[in-house]
Amino acid sequence: MITEHALITIQAGRQAEFEAEFPKAQAVISQAGGFIDLQLQRGIESPETYLLLIHWQTLDDHTVGFRQSELFAQWRAIIGPFFASPPAVDHFEPLA
């Protein structure tokens, strides 16, 4: 299992709108091959900052299967307009 860690900064004042639209984006990404689950968290000190954790079966499920699919275009069309800057994305794997 791979964990995608995305730090997302939303345009100031658009947090409620982003949070209202996010379930639509979640419904899209949940259709992707290898998707396991996700969790979205809002920053306390910086409420325009969100931490998105997505679990994938493999790295390729995210970087190839999802990122090169029509589902990714749909996902970005829903949440991309809220971004103040491109998200910072890293991937992690569990240690044995």
Residue ranges per structural domain of the chain: 2-89
Q: What is the per-residue pLDDT for 96?
A: 82
| Summary mean pLDDT of the chain | 97
Q: What is the per-residue pLDDT for 10?
A: 97
Q: What is the per-residue pLDDT for 24?
A: 98
Taking the C-alpha atoms of residue 96 and residue 87, their distance in angstroms, rounded to an integer, is: 29
Residues of the chain with pLDDT under 70: none
Task: Answer yes or no: CATH 3.90.1150.10 is held by domain 2-89.
Answer: no
Taking the C-alpha atoms of residue 57 and residue 68, their distance in angstroms, rounded to an integer, is: 16
Is residue 28 within 8 Å of 53, Cβ to Cβ?
no
For residue 63, count CB atoms less than 10 angstroms from its CB and return exposed for 0-12, middle for 13-18, buried for 19 or more. middle
Is residue 84 within 8 Å of 12, Cβ to Cβ?
yes
Q: What is the per-residue pLDDT for 25?
A: 98
State pTM to two decimals: 0.94
